Amino acid sequence: MMKKIFTIVFVLFFGIGMYAQTVVSGTVTDSKDGQPIPGVNIKVAGKALGTTTDFDGKYTLKVAQSPPFKIQVSNLGYISQTIEITKNDQTVDVSLVEAETTLDEVVVSASRTPESIRESPVTIERMDVRDIKNSSAASFYQSIENLKGVDVNTGSLTFNAVNTRGFATFANTRFVQLIDGMDNSSPALNFVLGNLVGMNELDVKSVELLPGASSALYGANAFNGILFMTSKSPFDDQGISVYLKTGITSQDAAGDNEFYDLGIRAAHAFSEKFAAKVSFSYLDGTDWYATDDNQYTRTVVGQPDAITPFSPSRLAHDGLNIYGDEIQ
């Protein structure tokens, strides 16, 4: 009996030792100014296992592999480094050197295949994790307006329409938005819903914009341009990330109202061939109050409309922001 118990305990401890994780952590900074670099890829050499640095440049990599092995540290615009891990719980702080040129950025939207931005046949505007962090916009989608040739029509907190080439409208039917190659347009409305249905800010890897006709590659709706958003892979970007934003929205009619925006993303690679991720976002805020109930009647061309104030006794009143009165 004692021999069996000893055998079972030995097998359990042996199994724990076999599946013990090696933990590597540290901080990635810029060699020039010492500032932390977010979104840096930390990957085990020769395997599809890795993680990325957070907004403070910190990372924690857990792998079911005993030392020694090598990790690769890479980021767009910097020279990649390969570091050997010799023990468990090793702290590896990396200082990346900026590359002399960023013309070798890889884009996929120009020809639907990965290629250098120098070889792209069309003009491409690109935004990555660092640009999103440095933007002062309330959301990453609103920061797209900082790209050249882009106009964002803000309809509400959750509905921003991207316009290029001068076609400024809240429902741009000539513009295509793809998320990991999937069309984000509403089947019923036939136009892009902007950030109303889209990715979590923590899951955005890159944003590419073609501010011109792309119908030959993406169909007739891409006459005005295309927005190609790529999400982070659960193989390369593992772990749990959280963000929280708060502020106020202010309007004369609505007053000052609190604004909250929070999100969480979790990703894990169970093996070299299977990984999963999940994300959640919550936004609460007050846009604006529509308080204009006057009736506007068109007059002579070149003259202002005739304004009729609202009156409860006037049954035929067709107010601007009174809905349902058209049938009276």
Higher pLDDT, 224 or 101: 224
Domain identity same for 267 and 182: no
17-38 pLDDT, tens per residue? 444 588 999 999 998 888 999 9
Domain identity same for 111 and 219: yes
Give the CA distances from residue 245 to residues 1, 137, 157, 177, in Å, rounded to whole numbers and listed in that order: 61, 11, 13, 25
* Count of structural domains, the chain: 4
Residue 2, classed as helix, strand or coil, is helix
Domain identity same for 124 and 222: yes
Domain identity same for 209 and 261: no
Q: Is residue 259 part of a domain?
A: yes
Closest by Cα among 202, 207, 209 to 128: 207
Domain identity same for 263 and 317: no
Q: Is residue 101 part of a domain?
A: no
Domain identity same for 198 and 157: yes
Which whole number is the average pLDDT over 117-123?
59
Q: Is the pLDDT of residue 264 over 90?
A: yes
Closest by Cα among 314, 268, 262 to 60: 268
d(CA 39, CA 31): 16
Domain identity same for 110 and 227: yes
The label of the residue with tokens 């970007």 reads 237
Which of 54-63, 88-97, 100-109 is least confident? Answer: 100-109
Domain boundaries, position 10: 2-96
Ranges 41-45, 91-95, 96-100, most confident: 91-95
The whole-number pLDDT of residue 118 equals: 55
Domain identity same for 195 and 225: yes
* Mean pLDDT across the chain: 79
Domain identity same for 76 and 134: no
Q: Is residue 190 part of a domain?
A: yes
pTM score over 0.75: no
- Residues 246-283 as b/e (b if ≥16 CB within 10 A, e otherwise) read eeebeeeeeeebebebebbbbbebeeeeebebebebee
Considering the chain, what percentage of its residues have pLDDT values greater than 70?
79
Domain identity same for 76 and 151: no
In this prediction, residue 114 has a pLDDT band, given cuts at 50, 70 and 90, of: low
Question: Which of 71, 96, 121 corresponds to the end of one domain?
Answer: 96
Closest by Cα among 30, 64, 57 to 41: 57
271-317 pLDDT, tens per residue? 888 999 999 989 888 887 878 888 888 888 888 888 888 887 777 77
